[in-house]
Amino acid sequence: MLIGALYRATVLWLLLAGVGTAQPVMSVTLLGSGTPAPTPDRFGNSTLVEAHGQRLLFDFGRGASIRLWQLNIPLGTITAHFLTHFHSDHTAGLPDLWLTGWLPPAYGQRKTPFVLFGPPGTEALAKGLSGAFAADIAIRAVDEHDPPEGIAFDAHDVAPGLVWNRDGVRVFAFANDHGVNVKPSYGYTIEYAGHRVVLSGDTRYSPVVAAQALGADLFLHSVTIIPAALLASTPGYRAVYQHLASPTDAAHAFADARPKLAAFYHVGLNGDATTADLIAAVRTVYDGPLTVGDDLMRFEIGDSVIVKPFDQPRR
């Protein structure tokens, strides 16, 4: 009887220990959840997805390099980079990431080309950056003997469809709807081991985006909220809703897709709008699981999706 009780206690302990130490199949970390606004609270848009030892980085807003190093991730260790579109709040951090990631100290260390995928125009962007920073590259090559391969771009213009497929980790690009004047513009789906994460990219409501995220583990959507008074008094704001999702637009996408977890990852709070206003607007349409992302918030994806706000011990 005592042995039976001990056995049951041991089994229970093992089960609890297993739950406590289960490794996520994939993880997603928001490096920057902000907009073009140069605020220290939310850096420019950038999202890190980790699966099967691969580090995949989506967009490179202002400060992406700083956030990576806050996580003790050397900039040169990103496996592949993916761009959604050419708005500067998604590219402003690219030269920093590319150039600083090439440097020899612990925070850099890239010795192989910078792998970059994006819509048509990505190869031209890489070529332009290489020209713009040619003097720095030439000086460091002679002065520091940094390896030339580490500052080369391996850039690819890609069409919608499968763009990355390595050891079971697959990335698909899809065209979203960022308004008639902002094309091309992509979102991305990342799949691994039966789990799926979808990043909307910058988009207004799009049934294509919602269909990509149908039943996904994690559906990250961009959003902007403009208080009614601001919308009425400042005509320029009306145009914003022509190319970005309002809270109810995003809520319709969430309601269509019914993901395990819906989250905002590119958050535009205009005027005096707050995240509480954002949530209240969403709740008029969508009643499922919802999180408003913050910088360095981490999502761990396995049998369930766990949200971990940033804490110092992870540094």
User: In the complex, which residues of this chain contact Zn ion (CB under 5 A)?
Assistant: 87, 89, 202
What is the closest distance, in whole angstroms, from the C-beta atom of residue 242 to Zn ion in the complex?
12
What is the closest distance, in whole angstroms, from the C-beta atom of residue 124 to Zn ion in the complex?
18
Residues in the chain, total: 315
What is the closest distance, in whole angstroms, from the C-beta atom of residue 44 to Zn ion in the complex?
8
What is the closest distance, in whole angstroms, from the C-beta atom of residue 266 to Zn ion in the complex?
6
Q: Is 168 left (phi over 0), alpha (psi -120 to 50) or beta?
A: left
What is the closest distance, in whole angstroms, from the C-beta atom of residue 88 to Zn ion in the complex?
9
Distance CA 105, CA 98 (A): 14
Spacing of C-alpha 237 from chain mean position:
25
The CA angle 78-300-278, to the nearest 5 degrees, is 100
What is the closest distance, in whole angstroms, from the C-beta atom of residue 205 to Zn ion in the complex?
15
> Which CB, 297 or 301, lies closer to Zn ion?
297
Spacing of C-alpha 171 from chain mean position:
13
Distance CA 118, CA 54 (A): 18
> Which CB, 169 or 209, lies closer to Zn ion?
209
Looking only at the bridges linking them, the beta strands covering 153-157 and 114-118 are: parallel
Question: Are the CB atoms for 309 and 294 separated by under 8 Å?
Answer: yes
What is the closest distance, in whole angstroms, from the C-beta atom of residue 25 to Zn ion in the complex?
28
Give the single-character DSSP code of 75. G
Distance CA 121, CA 155 (A): 10
Distance CA 101, CA 114 (A): 9
> Which CB, 146 or 202, lies closer to Zn ion?
202
> Which CB, 34 or 101, lies closer to Zn ion?
34
Both structure tokens of 110:
């890239």
Residue 188, CA distances (Å) to 119, 168, 209 in order: 11, 16, 9
Nearest to 297 by CA among 59, 43, 39: 43
> Which CB, 50 or 89, lies closer to Zn ion?
89
Instruction: Report the 10 Å Cβ neighbour count for 305.
Output: 22
> Which CB, 87 or 110, lies closer to Zn ion?
87
> Which CB, 89 or 177, lies closer to Zn ion?
89
> Which CB, 37 or 214, lies closer to Zn ion?
37
In the beta sheet, which residues pair with residue 269? 225
What is the closest distance, in whole angstroms, from the C-beta atom of residue 84 to Zn ion in the complex?
8
What is the closest distance, in whole angstroms, from the C-beta atom of residue 87 to Zn ion in the complex?
3
What type of residue is 250?
Answer: A
Q: Which residues contact 87 (CB under 8 A, 6 or more apart)?
A: 182, 202
Does residue 299 sit in helix, strand or coil?
strand
> Which CB, 87 or 204, lies closer to Zn ion?
87
